[in-house]
Amino acid sequence: FNTVEEQEQRARWRLAHATDLTPAMYLEHALRKGTTPNGICGIKLHYYQFAELPSKFTSIPRLSGLASAELMARAFPNLRYVWLTRRDKERQAISLRVASATDTWWDIEGARREETEYSRGEPQYDVAAIRRFEQALVEQDAQWGAYFRKSGIEPLVMHYEDLFADYRGQVVRVLRWLDIPRAEDVELPPPRLRRQSNARTEDWLARYKAFKAG
């Protein structure tokens, strides 16, 4: 449901079909593409993407006019939420500053990224940009929290720091929560994503903390 990904999915569909995807068809398409053989479909949504879903689905009769929680429950049967958040918002804000300045959002060994006009050059320290990212991250966590409380939903809360420190343990925790049989016996390959923090991160963090301390 990322706008760019949705456009790409629709373009590929048009190459193979005579008709375009209606919102209802796109929802079915996304569920089908995202479902693994065990019948579980996993979808990642940032809060701003989540907030846009009701407007995307208003033309689907069975979803029209529903409050967000009920709409989500009907659109995604047997819905459960895993809330992945991060305790250290300062480091997360710095990561976002670097990613947005370089257009490098992930690093996977052996995977190639398409170069864009923003992909080159060393990012510059920008305290105002980092501050804006930190405030946005805090606000998005508050919005998620408010949604869950208002809707009476108890998500499984997972922190980035815990996932990094105990990857297998946290994955097994999710599988248990989803009632997957023999969750402890699952064989996990190592994480594909490589951590991108480096000495620059530590330098920027020290400068940012000094700025905030006044």
Residue 118 has pLDDT above 70, yes or no: no
Confidence grade of residue 202 (pLDDT, cut at 50, 70, 90)? very high
Q: Is the distance from CB of 115 to CB of 190 less than 8 angstroms?
A: no
Q: For the residues 190-210, what does the mean pLDDT come to?
A: 91
- What is the overall mean pLDDT for the chain? 91
Query: Are the CB atoms for 26 and 43 separated by under 8 Å?
Result: no
d(CA 23, CA 147): 24
pLDDT at residue 120, rounded to an integer? 58
65-76 tens-digit pLDDT: 898 999 999 999
Confidence of residue 114 (pLDDT cuts 50, 70, 90): low
Q: 110 pLDDT exceeds 80?
A: no
pTM of the entire structure? 0.87
* Residue 112 banded pLDDT, cuts 50, 70, 90: low
d(CA 119, CA 139): 28
Q: In which band, very low, low, confident or very high, does the pLDDT at 116 lie, cut at 50, 70 and 90?
A: low
pLDDT in tens, 20-38: 889 999 999 999 999 999 8
Q: Are strands 156-159 and 82-85 parallel, antiparallel or unpaired?
A: parallel
Q: How many CB atoms lie within 10 A of CB 12?
A: 10
What pLDDT does 117 receive? Answer: 55
Tell whether the model's pLDDT for residue 124 goes beyond 80: yes
Q: In this predicted model, what pLDDT tens digit does every residue of 68-106 receive, in sequence order?
A: 999 999 999 999 999 999 999 999 999 999 999 988 888
Residue 179 pLDDT: 92
Cα-Cα end-to-end distance for the chain: 41
Q: Give, in order, the Cα–Cα distances in Å from 211 to each of 48, 89, 124, 125.
A: 29, 15, 16, 12
3-state secondary structure 46-108: CHHHHHHHHHHHCCCCCCCCCCHHHHHHHHCCCCCCEEEECCCHHHHHHHHHHHHHHCCCCCE
Residue 196: per-residue pLDDT: 83
CA distance 56 to 50: 10
Query: pLDDT tens digit string along 154-163?
Result: 999 999 999 9
- Does the structure show a pLDDT above 90 at 127? yes
